[in-house]
Amino acid sequence: MADRPTVAIVGAGFSGLLTALHLVADPEGPRARLIERSGAFGRGAAYATGNPDHLLNVRVANMSAFPDQPDHFTDWLASRGGWSAHGGFVTRGVYGDYLQDLLRKALETAGADRLLLEQDEAVDLKPTPGGWRVKLGLGRDLAVEAVVLAAGVLRPPPPAGASPELLASARYVADPWSGLLPADVGDVLLLGSGLTMADVAIGLAGPQRRVWAISRRGLTPRPHAPVTIRPPIPRPQGSPLDLLRQLRRTAGPSDWREAVDDLRPHVAAVWRGWTPVERRAFLRHLRPWWDVHRHRLSPSVARQIAVAIRARDLMVRAGEVVDLALARDGVEVAWRPRGGQVPRRLKVEAVVNCMGFAGDLAQAADPLLANLTAQGLIRPDPLRLGLDVDDRARPLSVDGGVTRGFYVVGPLTRGAVWEMTSVPDIRLQAAEAAQSILAELPRRAASAA
């Protein structure tokens, strides 16, 4: 082993970056090797956008990258010009600049030998007697002592009812942030009506084109509004239905947002306390409502969406898309309104998959996840939300055991805790994963000063 062990971190979005920063902050800790296929280190899918309409959906006061330094992001903003707060929400691009700054400072402080940036795709990971071998897309192999999977979310599968010709054509956009829609595209169908839909719709909907958004219930995220910070509440007890009743009771005399925010510190414990049957019931009946009340839009984005809906530039509908067929000059869509029997038809020029976190590991097309599944090193969690992990976020293998030196950080662990998509949740998990790794790996060899 060299003077200090090396940890390979697959994915340099928020999860991977923060895990790396915690590791290299310890002077005796390991070397961190961040592997990122996109070449944009530290921004990930969320914070790479330069669109001024793409605002954070969490207030700046709650976006510090570090759980023990709540003012870190607001102090950073205060020290720097060139941004404007839209009612407490800055652009996601500015947040990306913050993350880039953290990376730059860590490279300066820790030195290029402690924090290595590898622009490549990790396509396979194999345990070895001394640690792990990471196979990279361009053909190289890296020998490391531990690995962290920080690969983001599972991509949603192609929509049921879509013809193979459509899926292979430029009229179907699988990645809503790919920027693949031509600027002069006509009417567009967005599959889904959540935050991803809002992101895409505000750049598209207008007098020049109509945007349709169809999801099972046609629910859209609710807007943020000023809330009072209230004293912590005790952990709620009972089933999902009990929780709903309690929410309704507390939301009655106050703003519902405060009642939802009160639950936030307890989400993981409540989720863990439910039986598998209760978790399934929550996902089937309450999840769509939870999502739109918990994951809210900044007021200015909510206003833009409301204006587009009023102007009928954005048509949000509840229903199911049953057929998507490529036609000579567009896409023929058949969809069934919720509760209706007779399909309706519409014609658009493109279809964008905005179904967000809807992937199932068993169907993941990603080569790394497919290879890890084939080796039995990972398995889907029982609710098919991501990977099955133990209570320290270590992936469980097909036989239910953990593999030494193997960690996962970020939305792939949602099955264990339910909420692991936003910065306030991930920053804590990244710090804890780094602590576990530091405790597990040998410290820097005493001879290497």
Binding footprint of ligand FAD on the chain (CB under 6 A): 10-16, 35-38, 44-46, 56-58, 92, 121-122, 150-152, 199, 368, 410-411, 421-423, 426
Tokens at 414, concatenated: 């949602």
Helix and strand numbers (H, E) in the chain are: 14, 15
Nearer to ligand FAD by Cβ, of 198 and 350: the residue is 198
Among residues 359, 410, 351, which one has the least CA distance to residue 185? 351
Least distance in angstroms from the C-beta of 237 to ligand FAD:
28
Would you give the DSSP letter of residue 35? E
Among residues 161, 163, 155, 128, which one has the least CA distance to residue 143? 128
96 and 42 Cβ atoms separated by less than 8 Å: yes
Least distance in angstroms from the C-beta of 201 to ligand FAD:
13
Least distance in angstroms from the C-beta of 221 to ligand FAD:
11
Nearer to ligand FAD by Cβ, of 16 and 319: the residue is 16
Least distance in angstroms from the C-beta of 137 to ligand FAD:
8
- Give Cβ neighbours of residue 389 (< 8 Å, ≥ 6 apart): 381, 395, 396, 408, 413, 415, 416
Nearer to ligand FAD by Cβ, of 195 and 321: the residue is 195
Nearer to ligand FAD by Cβ, of 38 and 239: the residue is 38
Q: Give the C-alpha separation, 110 to 20, whole Å.
A: 11
Nearer to ligand FAD by Cβ, of 176 and 240: the residue is 176
Residue 102: strand, helix, or coil: helix
Q: Give the C-alpha separation, 208 to 205, whole Å.
A: 8
Least distance in angstroms from the C-beta of 224 to ligand FAD:
11
Least distance in angstroms from the C-beta of 94 to ligand FAD:
11
Query: Judging by beta carbons within 10 Å of its beta carbon (0-12, 13-18, 19+), is residue 259 exposed, middle or buried?
Result: buried
Residue 127: strand, helix, or coil: strand
CA 339, chain centre distance (Å): 31
Nearer to ligand FAD by Cβ, of 335 and 418: the residue is 418
Report the relative pairing of strands 122-128 and 131-136 from DSSP bridges. Answer: antiparallel
Least distance in angstroms from the C-beta of 250 to ligand FAD:
24
Nearer to ligand FAD by Cβ, of 24 and 58: the residue is 58
Would you give the DSSP letter of residue 188? E
Least distance in angstroms from the C-beta of 370 to ligand FAD:
11
Q: What is the largest CA-CA distance in the chain?
A: 76
416 and 2 Cβ atoms separated by less than 8 Å: no
Instruction: Name the residue type at position 288.
Output: P
Tokens at 7, concatenated: 């940890």
Tokens 């020049």 correspond to 208
Q: Edge-to-edge strands of the sheet including 31-36?
A: 115-119, 31-36, 6-10, 146-149, 406-408
Q: Give the C-alpha separation, 187 to 351, whole Å.
A: 9
Least distance in angstroms from the C-beta of 366 to ligand FAD:
6
Nearer to ligand FAD by Cβ, of 324 and 437: the residue is 437
Nearer to ligand FAD by Cβ, of 337 and 367: the residue is 367
Q: Give the C-alpha separation, 403 to 400, whole Å.
A: 10
Nearer to ligand FAD by Cβ, of 142 and 351: the residue is 142
Least distance in angstroms from the C-beta of 38 to ligand FAD:
4
Least distance in angstroms from the C-beta of 251 to ligand FAD:
23
Nearer to ligand FAD by Cβ, of 87 and 442: the residue is 87
Nearer to ligand FAD by Cβ, of 12 and 270: the residue is 12
Q: Give the C-alpha separation, 349 to 344, whole Å.
A: 17
Tokens 């913050």 correspond to 98
Residue 341: strand, helix, or coil: coil
Least distance in angstroms from the C-beta of 337 to ligand FAD:
28
Tokens at 194, concatenated: 């959540």
